[in-house]
Amino acid sequence: MRPPRGLAIRAGGIRLLIVAASSNVLIRTANADDDEILRTIDLATWSTSVSPAGPPSLATSFFDSTRADEVLVAVLDGAVVGYATLGRWYDIAASAHVLELKGLAVLPDHQRHGIGRRLVDAAIAAARRRQARRLALRVLGPNAAARTLYESCGFQIEGIFREQFLLDGRYVDDVFMAVDLGC
């Protein structure tokens, strides 16, 4: 039996918030035990077509740069296969009403099966629960698959920083997108 949405449960002494359950995919908050698989997902999905930052390292914790409670993970048949990271857009009080989808990744073998959409939908729901008015993100211009996904989830392009990054010998736009949450 699948737990209902928004249910907090304890598993092995860890409090998990189930934010979405659909089909065989469960979306829940991350915990410290997810560190290794999250680093593995980062390595499996990183390229200059999706991130201007250098490749991730297995030598550092995934949670060095974010808290576990800011990460939603997609679990399929008991295995974590993707994640979305949600955090503040800027760390100042004047923009506390704006959250950012800071990262989204799904293992290559599980892409194009709706898991990314479920993670984005769960991030939007989590942002609403946190009473955010807007959810923003940045995506590289050539990343058409991600842009299409975000647009299908209600995000709109609000700005383009032209030739923001030099990647693999070519200049790449940084696209700013956001969705109003009506909170």
pLDDT digits (tens, 9 = 90+) for 139-168: 999 999 999 999 999 999 999 999 999 999
Domain assignment present for 168: no
Q: What is the CATH number of the domain that holds 52?
A: 3.40.630.30
pTM here? 0.86
Residue 158 is inside which H or E element, if any?
A: strand 156-167
Lookup: tokens for 32: 């410290």
CB 19 within 8 A of CB 72: yes
Q: How far is CA 170 from the centre of its chain?
A: 26
36 falls within a domain: yes
Could you tell me the residue range of the domain that residue 14 belongs to?
7-130
Residue 7 has pLDDT above 90, yes or no: no
Contact 115, 76 (CB under 8 A): yes
Number of domains present in the structure of the chain: 1
User: Is 153 inside a domain boundary?
Assistant: no
Query: pLDDT of 41-99, one tens digit each?
Result: 999 999 999 999 989 988 899 999 899 999 999 999 999 999 999 999 988 999 999 99
Residue 38 domain-assigned? yes
**For residue 18, how far is the Cα from the chain centroid?**
16
Q: Is 161 a domain residue? A: no
Q: Is 76 a domain residue?
A: yes
| 183 within a domain of the structure (yes/no) | no
Q: Is residue 111 part of a domain?
A: yes
